[in-house]
Amino acid sequence: MIDLSKLSALELHYAASKLLSDYVETIDEDRLEQWPDLFVTDCVYQVIARENADRGLPTSAIYCDSRGMLVDRIVALRHANIYAKHYYRHVLSNVNVKGVEGDELVVQSNYVVLQTLVEGDTHVFNAGKYLDRMVATPDGLRFKRKVVVFDTYRIPNLLVTPL
């Protein structure tokens, strides 16, 4: 298991980037059943508008506080939700390691999600930042807490697929 306290700044940056790349791929490649596996069991996944986050208001578009809830979301998406078929494509940058706090790696990054609908055009769907807390596990780094703060507060479609 990785010992975060023994890694250099550069190695921490690489480890964080790698987890983020794996995260994005599970979504963009529609391997959503693997998406919850990138979180530890006792985790938080929150999607919140920048307006609310900046004012300290707790109202979130999505709030899940266990991996089980993440699994439920994917089951619902596959079997219950009705929505327009679409592709997501994440572009992520400015992965900025803020430090190690206890056993957690604190990382911030910017993202933009491009969406392609059936009619074929690709457009900016959502942009914002990730505020992540990652922990080492025997399987590699995993998310302990992921907060998605989005700038786009008019979301044109139901937010089904995770950001």
Quote the least distance from Cβ 21 to its own copies, whole Å.
Answer: 4
**Residue 159: partners with Cβ closer than 8 Å, 6 or more residues away:** 47, 61, 62
Quote the least distance from Cβ 20 to its own copies, whole Å.
Answer: 7
Instruction: Sketch the per residue contact string, 37 through 76, with its own copies: x for CB under 8 A, - otherwise.
Output: -------------x--------------------------
91 near its own copies, rule: CB under 8 A: yes
The values of phi and psi at residue 129, to 5°, are: -135, 155
- Per CB under 8 A, the list member of 22, 40, 63, 159 interacting with its own copies is 22
Q: 49: which 2 tokens?
A: 């508008």
- Provide the residue type at 14 as one letter: Y
What percent helix, strand, coil does the chain show, rounded to 5? 30, 45, 25
17 vs 66 by CB, closer to its own copies: 17
